[in-house]
């Protein structure tokens, strides 16, 4: 029967090559027996339309052949949860490392051009795709090794049947810090407020008592040919203001009995505040944080060293700012994600 022959020929193309002939021979025997039964029941051969309908009822050649293929996964259900976890971690750390290394590279170029910034941004998706591809490749190789029994998955750490329950993370306590950390005690919260206040006093005393920061070196600095830029006064007062706000937050938490855990918005406020004093630092023209007391006399001798020092300070501040911004973005992302999860769960 021609339609059956054509059907089996198509099925054969989708079968594993080692067993094609054997499977097709068996299918032919079974289907021909079925055809004979049908024709015997009708008392006549099937019409072309009936034959076509019967062949159609068997399913497409691919549908018929697919179950004969061995079950294959690129990454199977046993390995997939670990793969997903590792992929998330690798992409997150890849993003952080890329941002920091790019910031350092751009800083090295002293004044990064807009083109460099755009290229740095456009390269990011490709970096993430490469990280994901390598992760997938490693896990696909692992899955292959597991499927072919080169590796016994039941003896490996995360899959081990004999895993130690003692290694489970501590329980999240209601009102406790996220991630099962111990909630802050009242004594600890009071101590933090007291030390913040003492820190503020120390800062306020600094302009008149340099020894509080430089120790015995203060006498040398007073007589040195260097002085701080007067524009750093704005930085100083920003630091004072930030400390005052921090103390205010400590007192507010103690007053309302919320010392056990810092709320999400407070963490964000603290990280934004940490960026505020950096604004006047970047506004200093020519990054001249340290100046010469007598530029006319010392410029030729000390000028180049001082420029190199000021440039180093500028890059360091830039690096710190990049880390602080990343921390802020991370906190914003986590707070947003937690809020979304809470809303969905509700």
- Minimum CB separation of residue 80 from other proteins in Å reads 19
- Minimum CB separation of residue 42 from other proteins in Å reads 17
Q: Could you tell me which residues come within 8 angstroms of residue 239 by beta carbon, excluding any fewer than 6 positions away? A: 203, 277
Whichever of 55 and 146 has its CB closer to other proteins, that residue is: 55
Whichever of 38 and 261 has its CB closer to other proteins, that residue is: 38
Whichever of 29 and 141 has its CB closer to other proteins, that residue is: 29
Whichever of 25 and 138 has its CB closer to other proteins, that residue is: 25
- Minimum CB separation of residue 81 from other proteins in Å reads 20
Residues 32 and 80 sit within 8 Å (Cβ to Cβ): no
Strand partners, 228: 290
User: At residue 146, what are phi and psi to the nearest 5 degrees?
Assistant: -70, -45
Q: Using CB under 8 A as the criterion, which residues of the chain lie in contact with other proteins when the complex forms?
A: 19, 23, 25-27, 29-34, 37, 58-59, 63-64, 66-68
- Token look-up 């406020």 returns 269
Which sign, positive or negative, has the C-alpha torsion 188, 189, 194, 198? Answer: positive
Whichever of 31 and 135 has its CB closer to other proteins, that residue is: 31
**In the numeric block, which tokens belong to residue 108?**
């090295």
Q: Rounded to whole angstroms, how far apart are CA atoms 333 and 27?
A: 57
- Minimum CB separation of residue 51 from other proteins in Å reads 16
- Minimum CB separation of residue 63 from other proteins in Å reads 6
Q: Rounded to whole angstroms, how far apart are CA atoms 176 and 258?
A: 11
């Amino acid at each position: 029967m021609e339609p059956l022959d054509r059907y089996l020929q198509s099925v054969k193309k989708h079968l594993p090559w080692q067993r094609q002939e054997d499977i097709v021979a068996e299918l032919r025997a079974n289907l021909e027996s079925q055809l004979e039964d049908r024709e015997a029941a009708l008392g006549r051969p099937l019409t072309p339309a009936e034959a076509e309908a019967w062949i159609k009822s068997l399913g497409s050649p691919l549908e018929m052949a697919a179950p004969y293929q061995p079950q294959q996964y690129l990454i199977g259900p046993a390995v997939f949860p670990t793969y997903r976890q590792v992929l998330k971690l690798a992409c997150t750390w890849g993003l952080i490392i890329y941002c920091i290394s790019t910031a350092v590279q751009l800083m090295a170029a002293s004044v990064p051009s807009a083109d460099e910034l755009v290229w740095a941004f456009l390269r990011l998706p490709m970096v993430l795709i490469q990280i994901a591809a390598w992760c997938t490749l490693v896990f696909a190789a692992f899955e292959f090794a597991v499927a072919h029994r080169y590796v016994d998955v039941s003896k490996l750490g995360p899959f081990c049947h004999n895993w130690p329950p003692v290694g489970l993370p501590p329980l999240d306590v209601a009102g406790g810090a996220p991630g099962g950390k111990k909630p802050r005690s009242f004594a600890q919260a009071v101590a933090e407020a007291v030390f913040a206040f003492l820190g503020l006093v120390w800062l306020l005393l600094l302009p008149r008592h340099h020894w509080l920061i430089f120790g015995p070196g203060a006498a040398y600095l007073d007589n040195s040919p260097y002085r701080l830029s007067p524009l750093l006064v704005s930085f100083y007062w920003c630091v004072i203001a930030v400390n005052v706000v921090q103390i205010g937050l400590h007192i507010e938490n103690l007053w309302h009995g919320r010392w056990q855990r810092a709320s999400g918005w407070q963490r964000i406020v603290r990280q934004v505040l940490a960026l505020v004093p950096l604004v006047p630092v970047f506004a200093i023209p020519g990054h001249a944080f340290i100046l010469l007391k007598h530029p006319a006399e010392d410029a030729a001798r000390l000028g180049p060293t001082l420029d190199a020092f000021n440039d180093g300070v500028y890059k360091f501040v830039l690096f710190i700012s990049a880390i602080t911004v990343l921390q802020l973005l991370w906190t914003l992302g986590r707070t947003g994600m937690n809020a979304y999860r809470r809303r969905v769960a509700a």
